[in-house]
Copies of this chain bind each other. A is one copy, B any other.
Amino acid sequence: MKNFFRCKCPITSALDIIGDKWSLVLIKQMLFEGKSTFKDFAQSPESIATNILTTRLKMLEDFGIIEKQKLPTNRKTNIYTLNQRGLSLIPVLMELTFWSKHEVIEFNPDLNLDEKLEWAEANKEEAFKQVTDNYLKHKEALLNTK
């Protein structure tokens, strides 16, 4: 872990963990798109390569951001879910969404913007909580025999 972090800056260090090309995309897919298996991620429109996917999932697990487990009904398929450390990235992801809505749309007019975004931006705290609760319910349902 020595030399893993570029310096003592909190922002730079956060980016040293989740600032690569794929980590936040994977977390977003779990959080907002209900994805939970290797196959789910591999088949995304972002189309991540499977070797990269393997190493990213392992890294996120090593940092305690996600957890991997199997259902009693299926000894093969791994279920990847966010835990608390991952869930606490929700504000970062939502602020990125807001920024995108305002500033990225000019460069990528095809952006898929949720109609509830307006409300979420005006009620951030409530929106954060709602997304968290939503995911926790989804996760529970997922892990009690899919």
Q: Which of A's residues lie within 8 Å of B, judged by CB? A: 1, 4-17, 19-21, 24-25, 28, 32, 44-47, 63, 85, 88-89, 91-93, 95-104, 107-108, 110-113, 124
Q: How many copies does the complex hold?
A: 2
Known: A5-B108, A91-B95, A95-B91. A11 touches B100 (CB 8 A): yes
Q: CA–CA, A21 to B15, complex, Å?
A: 8
A32: B residues at CB distance < 8 A: 11
- Name the contact of A104 in the complex, choosing from B13, B24, B28, B103 (C-beta under 8 A): B13
- Name the contact of A96 in the complex, choosing from B10, B44, B103, B112 (C-beta under 8 A): B10
Chain A binding surface SS class: helix
- Name the contact of A100 in the complex, choosing from B4, B14, B108, B111 (C-beta under 8 A): B14
Contacts A9-B45, A10-B97 aside, 13 further interface pairs with beta carbons under 8 A come to: A5-B108, A6-B46, A7-B46, A10-B100, A10-B113, A11-B32, A11-B93, A11-B97, A13-B100, A15-B25, A85-B103, A88-B103, A92-B96
Known: A85-B103, A88-B99, A92-B95. A25 touches B8 (CB 8 A): no
